[in-house]
Amino acid sequence: MILAGDIGGTHARIATFTVEGGRVKLVSEQIYPSHEHHNLESALRAFLTTHSVTATTACFGVAGPVHKGIAVLPNLGWTVDASSLAHEIGIERARVINDLEANAYGIAALDASDLSVINPGAPNAVGNAAVISAGTGLGEAGLYWDGTTLRPFACEGGHADFAPTDPLGTEMLAWLQKQYAHVSWERVLSGNGLFNLYRFLRDTGRGEEPAWLTEELKNDDPPPVITRAALEKSSRLCEMALDLLVVLLGAEAANLALKIMATGGIYLGGGIVPRVLNKLKEPAFMRAFTNKGRMSDMLSAIPVKAILNDGAALLGAARCAALTAGLL
C-alpha cells in the first residue's frame, strides 16, 4: 500500500493508493485542517488510527523548499523530516518533496478531462516541460526530458524578483516596494497577489470602490470577493485587477518556459486557474505569453494547458512513492 500526502498551509490531504495497470489508484483519503495539528506526524497519526493501513512506501508533497529530506513550511511553522515520517509509519524510507514537484509528478497520472487546452502548440511537441501554480502562493517546477521520459525537479522560481515590462508595471513595482522588503512574482501572482493588484489600482486612483465592495472586502476573504466581482462584472476595479493578473501570469509562464526550454509544454495549476479558466482563454493571456521579442515564434509552438484536477499533487506524491519503490 502507498501512503501519500499533499501538505499545504490550509489543508493536509493524506491518502492511500494501490498500483493497478501501471497507474496509481486512490483507495482512501482524508483532509485535515492544517492548523488543527502541530506537525505532520500528528495528522499522520490521526489518519493511520482511522484507516488502519499498513504502508510499504510513502511520499509527501509539502509547500516549502526541501533539502536532504527536510522542509520547513513557512505558512505553518512545521518542520517536516522524511526520517521522522518513516519512523512514524513504520517503513524504512519515506520521501518528502516540494508540492510543485509533486504536481509535476502528477501530470502523468492525469486524464484528458483533467486538463483544458489554452494553446494547442505544435503537434507532437516534445522536450522539457514546466508547471506554474498560482494559489495561496506561487509555485514553479520543471520536468526534464531525458529522451524517454519526463523527470520532475523542484525550484523556487515564484520567489524570484518581479520584473515589470511597461510603465504600469514599473509604477506598481514602486508601490509594492513600499509594502514589502522584497517584491517577488508571488506578490502579484497568488491569492494575496490579486489583492495587491486590486489595492494598487484602487490606491492610485484607477477606479472607485463602491460601499458594498468595501464591506465585503472587510468581512470576507478578499481574493474570492475580487474574483467573483470581476467575473460577474459588478466592479470594474475588480475586473481590471483580474485582467492584470492574467497578463502577469502569461508573462511569468513564458519566463519559466524560456529558462528551462519547455518545448514539451507549460501546465497552469493552483486554485486560481480553474476559477478564471475562461479569462485564460481570452487573447490577453497568450498575447503576454508570446510577447518575448525574438522568442515569440518558439513560445507560440509550446502547448499550454490548465490543470483542472485539484488532486494532481496528491496523485503525484503517490506516483513518486510508487516509482521510488519500483512499483511503476
- Tens-place pLDDT, residues 255-296: 999 999 999 999 999 999 999 999 999 999 999 999 999 999
Q: Does 106 map to a domain?
A: no
Q: Is the CB of residue 98 less than 8 Å from the CB of residue 5?
A: no
Pair 179, 62 in one domain: no
Q: Does 124 map to a domain?
A: yes
Pair 126, 77 in one domain: no
- Tens-place pLDDT, residues 96-120: 999 999 999 999 999 999 999 999 9
Pair 211, 194 in one domain: yes
Helical segments of the chain, H only: 40-51, 82-89, 99-106, 167-177, 191-203, 211-219, 222-231, 236-260, 272-275, 277-280, 283-289, 296-300, 312-324
Q: Does 149 map to a domain?
A: yes
Pair 223, 246 in one domain: yes
Which CATH number goes with the domain that contains 83? 3.30.420.40
Asked if residue 10 has pLDDT above 90, the reply is: no
- Tens-place pLDDT, residues 210-229: 999 999 999 999 999 999 99
What is the residue range of 66's domain?
A: 2-99+311-324
- Tens-place pLDDT, residues 47-63: 999 998 899 999 999 99
Q: Total domain count for the chain?
A: 2
Q: Name residue 221's amino acid.
A: D
Phi first, then psi: give them for residue 112, nearest 5 degrees: -60, -35
Single pTM value for the model: 0.95
Pair 205, 119 in one domain: yes
Pair 292, 152 in one domain: yes
- Tens-place pLDDT, residues 13-40: 999 999 999 999 999 999 999 999 999 9
